[in-house]
C-alpha cells in the first residue's frame, strides 16, 4: 500500500474509532486525512474498501500483539500450536476495533479478508508457520500435511472460532487439542 493510501487508512481508523464505523462518512475521513472527499476515490473505491483495508491494518497490529504474547510460550510444539490458535482467537475477539470493523462488513467479505488468500492470511501465518515448520522438521506432522495448506486451513479454524460468543480459555484450548492438533500432528 502506498503512503497516501496508508495515511487515508490511518485517518479512517481514527474516525471509525471516534464516531463509530456506522456513523462515519467519507467526508469525515477526507477531513481527517486532509484531502478533498473526491480525492479519496483516487485511492479507494469506497467506504467498504476502507473498512476492509482498516481491518487488514488492525490485523497487522493484532499479529504484533500475538507475537509478543507468544515470546515465552510453551516449548512443546503441540502446546505451542494450541497456544498460537487460542491466543489468536482471544486477542482478536477482545479487540473492539477488530469487532467493529468485522461487524460493519458482510460475513463473506470478513471471511475472505481473514481466512482467504489475503494480507491477513500472510500476517497470521507468521505465527503458525514456524510452529508447523518445526513440527515438520521434527517429523511430528501427519503424513501428507503441507505447511502452506495447513496454515490456510487453520486460519479458517480461527475464523470459525471467532464467530462464537463464548471464548472460555480452557474450553477453547481443549477444543484445539481435541480437533486441531490431531488434524495436523501425527499420533504421539
How far from 157 is each of 27, 29, 143, 152, 162, CA to CA, in Å? 37, 34, 20, 9, 9
User: Are the C-beta atoms of 77 and 138 separated by less than 8 Å?
Assistant: yes
Return d(Cα 84, Cα 26) in angstroms, integer: 37
- CA 51 – CA 16 distance, rounded (Å): 9
Q: Could you give phi then psi for residue 43, rounded to 5 degrees? A: -115, -30
Please state the domain extents for the chain: 1-44, 47-184
What pLDDT is attached to residue 134?
A: 94
Between CA 178 and CA 171 the distance in angstroms is 10
Structure confidence at residue 30 (pLDDT): 97
What is residue 117's predicted lDDT score, i.e. its pLDDT? 45
| Cα(18)–Cα(12) distance, integer angstroms | 10
Domain 1-44, classified CATH 1.10.10.60, yes or no: yes
Say if CB 156 and CB 180 are below 8 A apart: no
Angle between the 147-162 and 107-115 helix axes, to the nearest 10 degrees?
A: 140
pLDDT of residue 178: 95
Output the pLDDT for position 114: 64
pLDDT, averaged per 10 consecutive residues of the chain (188 residues), comes to 94 97 96 96 94 88 85 90 89 84 81 58 73 94 93 84 80 94 92
CATH 3.20.20.300 fits 47-184, yes or no: no
Query: How far apart, in whole angstroms, are the C-alpha atoms of residue 10 and residue 144?
Result: 42
Amino acid at each position: 500500500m502506498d503512503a497516501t493510501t496508508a495515511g487515508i487508512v490511518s485517518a479512517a481508523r481514527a474516525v471509525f474509532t471516534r464516531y463509530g464505523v456506522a456513523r462515519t462518512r467519507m467526508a469525515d475521513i477526507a477531513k481527517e486525512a486532509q484531502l478533498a472527499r473526491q480525492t479519496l476515490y483516487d485511492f479507494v473505491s469506497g467506504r467498504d474498501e476502507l473498512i476492509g483495508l482498516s481491518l487488514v491494518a488492525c490485523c497487522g497490529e493484532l499479529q504484533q500483539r500475538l507475537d509478543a504474547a507468544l515470546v515465552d510460550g510453551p516449548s512443546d510444539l503441540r502446546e505451542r500450536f494450541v497456544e498460537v490458535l487460542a491466543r489468536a482467537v482471544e486477542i482478536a475477539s477482545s479487540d473492539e476495533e477488530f469487532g467493529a470493523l468485522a461487524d460493519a462488513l458482510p460475513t463473506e467479505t470478513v471471511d475472505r479478508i481473514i481466512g482467504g488468500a489475503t494480507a491477513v492470511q500472510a500476517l497470521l501465518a507468521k505465527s503458525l508457520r514456524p510452529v508447523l515448520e518445526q513440527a515438520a522438521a521434527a517429523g511430528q506432522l501427519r503424513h501428507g500435511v503441507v505447511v502452506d495448506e495447513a496454515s490456510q486451513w487453520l486460519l479458517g479454524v480461527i475464523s470459525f472460532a471467532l464467530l462464537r460468543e463464548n471464548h472460555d480459555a480452557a474450553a477453547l484450548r481443549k477444543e484445539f487439542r481435541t480437533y486441531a492438533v490431531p488434524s495436523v500432528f501425527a499420533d504421539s
